[in-house]
Structure 1
């Protein structure tokens, strides 16, 4: 009888522990066919990551009581077309961090997205940097993630949420070289979302790059409109630019949507290096987990610009300055 009671008590304790902590495995597999005409040649490719980068991830959380909790996330990028690792072959190159949730906000440490990234994906087309977004064609990808970072995110208060972020370059020759510091403030209430993010990165002893993002979306029901404006400045006046991206997402019943995107990149440091992009994309939702998509994109580059059409992780075709690429894609995304 005593043994039976002890066994039942052990099972109860295990069940209670399981209820207080959890680990979830998740992922995305996204493949698409890409045909690009550069004006001189046509290139056919199968690529990974049109709407979302293919990935495998693990997230976990433990309830510590009193509004506190521990959490972690490990997420590896996968090039599903050939099975290789993304992000240059890093094991968990997309994200890898651990943190503590408190009643006053969340603190996390590791390789994480910079607030700059979250502002872009929140106010760009359908959320996420993907095929169909001019902001994706024109954005500097080197400022989207940072290693050795500490992030603090506030709780939501009257619709407002803030984030402070700092990443250490860990350069022995300079205390600040490679450092990334950022902050953001966002607001969400009903159909309206809006926000601003500021980032600075010490690239050399004599230069700091500075990025500003302002954006917003409004869901009218029959159409969702979004606008993102970014500005890049540096001390040496060699990489200064502005970007405007206007998006419209039009639901077609409950099973599909049409997305329209118009973007304009203006190079402030190099003459005749501006660019304009237009994209139309159609998404068909086979289920909550599986989406078919197709679309057409056109970029008009000035004589000194060489921007191409890329997906979430699928690369653009290499161009020579002044070429105007036209790209057709058709793909499938499945999440689990």
Structure 2
């Protein structure tokens, strides 16, 4: 395995007080809803003993999201739950997450509702996929930098795709202004006045973390010392913190993002949301310039550390994971690259309190099919 690391001080942030912060437990059972979806099954938690040896920890596992409910990424967990909550509310049942079968019955064949989303790939495809299952039209807005294969995948779900020659943050603003009337915007980033649906997206991700807890227990492991999460707008890291900061024994949470789109790290270092200019990256799904307002206070209070990685480091991790039978695209493999950048550095490792017997989980959020930029 390649063991290169990022050297830039600007690409690192840590908060020693984060592990003492606590939030309320997630009280809803999102797995009950996901269990109702066709083809639901927990995704694999795969041990990587070779990585554990190189990183000098007790165990490394990777949560492999290359096949999740028929799509090559984890995003459908959040999108499906948020769509159910949003449509159930439109149908007069706030607080309920109807199954897709029930939604189809209640919507009927003549529903005027439609779905919309801005995306840099996986989230938009997930929204389009659920819309297709429900028989609803969907409009998905993408920046021009998204690969043709990713755009074709969104179109294959029956969605109308609108390509815009502007950065991702501006695509979100366009979708926000364009979605009116009976169209429902399902976005995983938030802004003032638009918090409910992004929160439901975050809630939907909790199923993934509940699966990890069960899988570790099934393997006879009763501890988790570090979980490594890829970050775009920060919503997935927010979900990890909501799950793991609501218990007495909590792991360190490390966020990883591209060095060309370091919105989380830059904002944390500044102590406020600080939009950044982004550049092209193979980590397309993480190419976001502004942290979600909903995620921000949780990241600021509870995130142990954030690190940036380069494209070459992410691609090296893609190939290394593939050599051990794990299908991971650059966004997912960024967590292995981030773990290297931190755990091989004695000072960063010490800041996180990682010992030689530590248990580490890497979240691989996509397969290579989700991102054709990975060679």
What interval of TM-score do these two structures reach, taking the shorter chain for normalisation? Answer: under 0.3
Q: Normalization by structure 2: what TM-score?
A: 0.25
User: Using CA pairs below 8 Å that are at least 6 residues apart, which structure has the higher relative contact order?
Assistant: 2
Structure with more of its chain in strand, by fraction = 1
